[in-house]
């Protein structure tokens, strides 16, 4: 014989546990904005400011708004069934995001909503829940005095976080760089919602501002740049579309700040990989889902995968919308495509490497492959080195050869490998000082003239480094005025 026994969760225990699902400040803000977009908002304003010795956050939209009964239901934990069929553009799923995202950051959540000229407001105060050990919300009649209430439009919703304790610790005494937190949140929202901010075809354009500053979209694929290489979109399986991109090399940018902008926080190496979008909203980025390692050769490769909201269970999207598991059918396809996907990025770097070691450009370093082993050595046949050696007597030639051999043997391969793996784009050789550069240019030109005429020698120098990027200085060193 069996019998049912109801075990009702202890409010004071469960409510504290719900705070530790794992939201960051950025992901919590994004989850609230999801609700605004689902409510067809076109203008979303975020205010995150220290007010009267406390930090308050208000998210205001001009969306559809809610009446009193619908707002009360929305304040319920688990307000919707995740298995219910949802509208195509619905960015929610569990009916938990509003509450859990807010509770992760604050101890008092107030939602005010207007619809058809009527205003309703409710507050979850976690201290009250703990004290009374009861799932009780407070209905507010004093909402006109709430922070940022004056910004609420005639139809729309205000989500207010007060007692924001997670940024400062339990007692609120910790020092916090609010300016940094807000700045990082702006960058995060500009990336996560970039397709909405840009008004991509088929999506309602949304304007998002943070403390009065309107966000500019950050497109992680830099499609606007003509140097970006993109593959055609491919339908991997029903409901899953894939497209790969190879971002431009740093040498194609006139402004390094623009290059760094598209590298995203952490740089290109860290942010290579899959960018997963659910209903056009970025939920996961910069991961290969364990299919391959992140390498310097593929750091310019990014893969966009679009899925619809009907794929939530298949991809195991979590409540925070920051975690997913790639289905096996997609894993197999992406794994088979990785070599092809990474090829353009590899070519960008290998092509530059080939220019440095091709005999046609008189490399200082030779690159030799012997089976699986690759060896670098100083090219003793380089015109400048060869000319210098020939000017020495027999004994000094031997010493010079020994010196060249020593320098070649001391190539710091381990340090180079480490730096290339962590931040390849910031590695550079020491630039020649003007006097050294001029002396080198004259010696190289003289060496070329032994088997080429002046015009041919200049044409050669114009196409190779370091003379190509310092051409005016090269001509000055040679005493030549180009016509």
Residue 219 lies in a domain: no
Closest CA to 114 of 154, 148, 149: 154
Q: Are residues 62 and 180 in the same domain?
A: yes
Q: What is the CATH classification number for the domain harbouring 330?
A: 3.30.230
Q: Are residues 390 and 421 in the same domain?
A: yes
In this structure, which long-range contacts are made by residues 215-220, counting pairs with CB atoms below 8 Å and at least 24 apart in sequence?
215/186, 215/189, 215/190, 216/190, 217/190, 217/193, 218/187, 218/190, 218/191, 218/194, 218/261, 218/262, 218/264, 219/194, 219/262, 220/191, 220/194, 220/262, 220/264, 220/271, 220/275, 220/282, 220/285, 220/302
State which of 300, 324, 354 marks the end of a domain. 354
Q: Are residues 132 and 42 in the same domain?
A: yes
Beta carbons within 8 Å of 46's beta carbon, 6+ residues apart:
29, 33, 57, 58, 59, 60, 185, 189, 208, 209, 210, 211
| φ, ψ (nearest 5 deg) of residue 281 | -100, 125
Confidence of residue 139 (pLDDT cuts 50, 70, 90): very high
Q: Are residues 322 and 298 in the same domain?
A: yes
**Tens digit of each residue's pLDDT (9 = 90 or more) over 73-97:** 999 987 554 444 544 444 444 357 8
Element (H, E) at 423: helix 413-423
Q: Are residues 188 and 78 in the same domain?
A: yes
Residue 5 lies in a domain: no
Distance (Å, whole) CA 336 – CA 244: 13
Distance (Å, whole) CA 325 – CA 306: 14
Structural domain count, the chain:
3
Q: Are residues 66 and 42 in the same domain?
A: yes
Q: Are residues 202 and 83 in the same domain?
A: yes
Contact predicate 26/89, CB 8 Å: no
Question: HSE on the CB side for 116, CA within 13 Å?
Answer: 3
Q: Are residues 369 and 455 in the same domain?
A: yes
> In which domain, by residue range, is 276 found?
229-354
Residue 122 lies in a domain: yes
Q: Are residues 48 and 121 in the same domain?
A: yes
* Over residues 120-132, mean pLDDT: 96
Which pLDDT value is given to residue 80? 56
For residue 135, CA distances in Å to 105, 125, 143, 286 come to 19, 10, 21, 39
Element (H, E) at 118: strand 118-125
Q: Are residues 86 and 165 in the same domain?
A: yes
Give the DSSP per-residue string, 198-248.
TT-TTS---EEEETTEEPPP--TT-TTSTT-EEPPPEEEETTEEEEEEEPP
Which range has the worst mean pLDDT, 49-63, 93-107, 220-234, 356-370? Answer: 356-370
**Tens digit of each residue's pLDDT (9 = 90 or more) over 170-207:** 544 457 899 999 999 999 999 999 999 999 998 999 99
State which of 189, 214, 239 marks the end of a domain. 214
Q: Angle CA(183)–CA(188)–CA(193) in degrees, nearest 5?
A: 130
Q: Are residues 101 and 183 in the same domain?
A: yes
Residue 1 lies in a domain: no
Chain centroid to CA 328: 25
Confidence of residue 460 (pLDDT cuts 50, 70, 90): confident
Q: What is the CATH classification number for the domain harbouring 197?
A: 3.30.565.10
Q: Mark 404-430 as b/e (b = at least 16 C-beta within 10 Å).
A: beeebeeeeeeeeeeebeebbbeeeee
pLDDT greater than 90 at residue 454: no
Residue 473 lies in a domain: yes
Residue 220 lies in a domain: no
pTM for this structure?
A: 0.73
Confidence of residue 416 (pLDDT cuts 50, 70, 90): confident
Residue 335 lies in a domain: yes
State which of 354, 369, 397 marks the end of a domain. 354
């Amino acid at each position: 014989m069996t019998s049912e026994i109801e075990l009702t969760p202890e409010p004071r225990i469960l409510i504290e546990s719900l705070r530790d699902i794992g939201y960051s400040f950025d992901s919590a803000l994004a989850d609230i904005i999801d609700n605004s977009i689902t409510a067809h908002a076109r203008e979303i304003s975020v205010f995150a400011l220290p007010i009267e010795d406390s930090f308050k956050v208000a998210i205001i939209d001009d969306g559809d708004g809610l009446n009193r009964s619908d707002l009360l239901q929305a304040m319920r934990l688990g307000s919707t069934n995740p298995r219910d069929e949802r509208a195509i553009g619905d960015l929610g799923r569990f009916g938990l995001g509003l509450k859990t995202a807010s509770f992760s950051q604050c101890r008092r959540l107030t939602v005010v909503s207007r619809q058809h000229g009527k205003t309703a407001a409710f507050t979850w105060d976690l201290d009250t829940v703990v004290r009374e050990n009861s799932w009780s919300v407070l209905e507010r009649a004093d909402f006109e005095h709430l922070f940022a209430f004056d910004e609420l439009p005639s139809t729309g919703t205000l989500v207010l976080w007060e007692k924001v304790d997670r940024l400062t610790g339990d007692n609120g005494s910790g020092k916090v760089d609010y300016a940094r937190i807000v700045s990082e949140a702006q960058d995060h929202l500009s990336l996560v919602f970039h397709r909405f901010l840009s008004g991509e075809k088929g999506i309602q354009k949304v304007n998002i501002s943070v403390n009065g500053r309107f966000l500019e979209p950050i497109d992680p694929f830099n499609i606007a740049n003509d140097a970006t290489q993109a593959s055609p979109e491919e339908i991997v399986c029903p409901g899953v579309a894939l497209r790969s991109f190879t971002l431009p090399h740093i040498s194609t940018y006139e402004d390094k700040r623009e290059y760094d902008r598209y590298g995203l926080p952490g740089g290109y190496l860290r942010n290579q990989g899959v960018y997963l979008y659910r209903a056009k909203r970025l939920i996961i980025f910069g991961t290969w889902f364990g299919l391959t390692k992140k390498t310097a050769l593929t750091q310019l490769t990014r893969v966009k995968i679009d899925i619809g909201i009907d794929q939530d269970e298949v991809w195991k999207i979590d409540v925070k919308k920051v975690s997913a598991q790639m289905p096996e059918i997609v894993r197999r396809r992406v794994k088979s495509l990785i070599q092809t996907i990474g090829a353009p990025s590899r070519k960008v770097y290998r092509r530059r490497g080939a220019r440095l070691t091709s005999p046609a450009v008189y490399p200082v370093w030779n690159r030799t492959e012997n089976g699986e082993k690759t060896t670098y050595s100083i090219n003793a046949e380089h015109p400048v080195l060869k000319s210098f050696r020939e000017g020495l007597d027999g004994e000094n030639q031997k010493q010079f050869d020994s010196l060249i051999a020593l320098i070649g043997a001391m190539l710091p391969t381990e340090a180079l490998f480490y730096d290339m793996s962590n931040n390849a784009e910031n590695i550079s050789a020491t630039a020649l000082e003007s006097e050294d550069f001029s002396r080198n240019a004259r010696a190289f030109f003289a060496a070329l003239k032994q088997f080429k005429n002046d015009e041919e020698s200049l044409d050669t120098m114009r196409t190779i480094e370091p003379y190509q990027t310092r051409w005016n200085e090269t001509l000055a060193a040679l005493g030549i005025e180009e016509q």
